[in-house]
A = this chain, B = another copy of it.
Amino acid sequence: MTTEESGVVADWRTYEEQRLPRVLAAALETFGEKGYHGTTTRQLAEAAGMSVPGIYHHYASKQDILFDLMMVIIDELIERSQQALASAEDTPRAQFDALVESLLRFHMHRRRGAMLSTSELRSLEPENRARYVARRDEQQRMLDRIVLAGVESGALSTPYPADASRAIASLCVGVASWYRPDGQYSVDTLLTRFLAITESIVGIR
C-alpha cells in the first residue's frame, strides 16, 4: 500500500521508536516533562547533547522548536489516519473502525507527543497556534465526516453525531494520559476494549 503523501510512515499500524532530530527529541522529552515555559533552553540543550548556540543554529527560537515539534506530531497523526482510511474497506463501519483504531494506536504509541500537543497549545504564539489548530481540525473533520456519513447511511446510529464524534476523539486522546506501554495490558487488548466502547457510542452493537 502506498500513499501520495510523504514516505515516512511505512504502515499505519506499525510504530517504531519515534525517529526525531536531536533537538525535537530533546524538546519532546523536556517540554513533556516540565512544560514549555518550565523548560529552559539550557535544559533543552543538555537534553539534546548540544550547547545552547548549537540549538539556535537549527532553530531561530524556542517557540519555533515547539511549533515544529507539534507540527511533526500532528502530521504523523494525519498521515496515519489517511493511510488507515485508504487501506480499509469502503463501508461506514470499516472506515469508522479503521480511523478509531488509528487514533487509539497513535495515542498509545505517541503518548508524550500527543499530551504535549494538548497541553502546550496555549504556548503557541497566535500565528503558530492558528496554523496548528487548522491542521488539528482537519483530523477532527475526518472523524466527523465518517460518523455523519455512517449515521446517514444507517450503519451508525446516534442522535448527536457531532457530539459523538467529539466524545470519541476525546476518549482516544485521553488514552494517552494514562496508558503505559510497560503496563499489564497489551495494545491489542486495549484496542479491542476501547473500540467496543467507541462503537457503543455510535450505536454499533
Contacts and interface: CB of A to CB of B under 8 A. Distances in A.
Interface of A: 33-38, 118-119, 122-123, 160, 163, 166-167, 170-171, 173-175, 177-178, 185, 190, 193-194, 197, 200-201
A75 to B, nearest CB: 22
A163 B193 contact: yes
A131 to B, nearest CB: 20
Contacts of A170: 171, 174-175, 177-178
A189 to B, nearest CB: 8
Shortest 7 CB-CB distances between A and B: which pairs? A37-B37, A37-B38, A170-B174, A174-B174, A200-B200, A119-B119, A35-B37
Given A193-B160, A197-B167, A197-B200, A122 B185 contact: no
